[in-house]
A and B are shown apart, each in its own frame.
Chain A
Amino acid sequence: MTISGVISTGWKSADGKRPPTLLLVSAAAVAFAALIPVAYLLIRSIGVGSEWIDIIWRQNTAAVFGRTFLLIALVTVISVTVAVPVAWLTVKSNIPLRRVLSVASVLPLVVPSFVMATTVIEMYSPKGVLQGWLSGLGVERLPDIYGLGGATLVLVLMTYPYVLLTVRGALRRMDPALEEAARAMGYGPVHTFRAVTLPMLRPAIAGGSLLVALYTLSDFGGVALLRYQTFTSTIMIQYESSIDRTLAAVLSLVLVVIAVLLLMGEGFTRGRGAYHRSTAGSVRVSRRANLGKWRWAGAGVVGVPVVIGLIIPVGVLLHWLIRGLLNNQELLPLLVPARNSLYISLLSAVVTVMAALPIAILAVRFQSRLSRFFERSIYIGFGLPGVVVALSLVFFGINVARPLYQSIWLLIFAYGVLFLPASVGALRSSLLQVSPRVEEAAQSLGKSQWRVIFSVTVPLVMPGAFAGGAMVFLLTMKELPATLILSPIGYRTLSSSIWSAASEAFFAKTAAAALLLVVVAGIPTAYLTLRGHGDNADSSDRSPQVTPVPQAKEGVR
């Protein structure tokens, strides 16, 4: 009996449908591949035996734990607090420059964490630009940017767009009649937001928060530069400072456990209520709230994170570039790294989306315990620091997949493990919008289940595939540790060029490469934001946008 036979014999999805074997096998293969880094950690840790408890406690781990959780809690709460009003203002109100602001408010996402951290230090440190301005006004000393405060600032700026994107999507999908119903029952606008809108946004907020928490858990560049020791930076120090990597492996395993706990925590927030639209019917686009004289204040609220998270960092980079050029500093030859970055990012996007497809289709169309296990197992990759994934793949490359070692395919593999969750998420919500009735219609017309997937399902989820691909492209562009470790010798990308230039304190080179990266990565992000907009509906509020209704019984992420 083949493996596929074993898997599919025991298979019955919730509604009794059996998925095509090939779909199952490919999903199983992807989930298996995504679990390789964890497998490596287990192998390394097993050798340690019962000493692992000592190892963990020797490292003053409790304190690191505490610091990590404090940072995660702060970053998540502040990101939600920033993102929800920004989402509401850019979707449901008539603030001036609404379109520009709604794109700009997502763009801090494209600034890599180590770039964001360096610009934050340049601006707000005791010797920074802001102190320079303020000392003229008699302010002696700004609060220290290093430590918890600075790390929180950097991570909030980089991660609030995750919540922003999920909440915006939910706001657009929400049936405006729900809010109208509350208004008809005597609820004022504020009360309506609290009693109806906010609870309806709960799954989106939880989903976005999960991404924020996992990112915060795995970030290295930002926290390292701001001298805040977290679990990930402890592991990194272990990796770099000792030849024996067992300790780092054990600590990484703990990190995996934390990531799993976070994933479970998000599951708990869902509860029994449903969050997709309750009945059939078309989505009517609601009229935007008229803020009247508060319009500009609303734009200001959206503008603050844009200024701090995008305009100031880009400004600092431009400043460095110009200063460097004036001092006749040499620019790196950027053409080759830029081409390499573009190439591997596109490749990574295509490969990752293709790998995500079977997982997403299984999870949405053939719900079962196994499909949930597949889906959840790939989310672990998002909680693992890039460096852990990269080093485990070095091990895998040397010992198991020798031909892949020192080729860009191993690098692509690492990106896939790291960024699968992003593309699965996008495909998943796109699939939920496609009624299974359409697929059943195709099947009734004589197509096999497998052919239906190719001729109906895949074309219909193309928007989701593009969204997911754009996200993977962006994340690949920014990724640093895995790129440094797994790139074939001499293969330079934009992010590795920034890193090497920055570590040699060539500010002009750093700035030029970083600006190029921000621009290239910004294009797909802007596309992503504009695409989800439905702004054409502005002019014709009464013509209903007919969208198929999500049929799954599960909350929409």
Chain B
Amino acid sequence: MIGTYSQEERERIEALASAYVLGVLDENESDFAEFEALLEAGDPLLAELLEAGFDTTIALAELAPQVNAPAHIKEALLSKISSLEMSTDRMVRYDQNKAPLPSSTVRLLRKKNRTIISISLLGGLLVCVLLAFLVIKSDKLERYSGLTKVLMRQSDSLKLSNKEFAINDSLVRCVLNMLQEENARLVTMTTTSQSKHQHVFFSPKQKMVVVMRENLQPIDSNHVYEIWAVVGNTPKPIGSFVVDPHDKEPMYTFSTDLASAEAFGISIEEKGATPSPKSEMIYIGEVPHFGKN
């Protein structure tokens, strides 16, 4: 039994194969295109039916009342081949337009079938490995998913060209590496109204915090943005930054010695002042906990 076909599909392919081997499948008919598509796709049932069909048509050929060919045909044939110059390529060249070799079609289909089966098996194996990986690393999947969305939004919001984004490739790779770590976190921060989002990547292992630019707009020159980590309900300053309207820096990186944090936030502070939250956080978000982490 080859593959899984519905009764309708099987009958359809049987009809096409029968028509083809009987020589009644006209190129101008719609069935011909369907047949060619199946042939091109290396349909295994079609291959099986064609092979059987060609053998069956021999029986039909033998139904004709038997008569000998006139003797002069053989004489003419032998005379013609003796006059033919031995062609060096006649043993290696094959003109398919002149003499379609039905069995070669079958062979082609079989070859394709083997290829398709091999690819299918390999593909199936890869899918299994991927699924196993995803089950084991489902928490990372969540992080990757979030990262992808953030990076895409980041690119869009800044209208970064591929080239511009590529310039930040090393930083992007750095973020991706962070997500390989068990304790790295992607933190989604929101405004009080939750109408806007900002993202922060936190890596205790690399001792790094990365703030995505996203919705942060340039502010007056007397103020800066401050990124905070909340540890034990106490905000701890991570670093300050300004958003340059002429710069398309997609993210801002900061060093930190923090091993963990409960939340991250962003505030606007006076430039040059000692970091302390003098105003409320414009963005705040809890650090998520994935799986066992």
Q: Do A and B come from one complex?
A: no
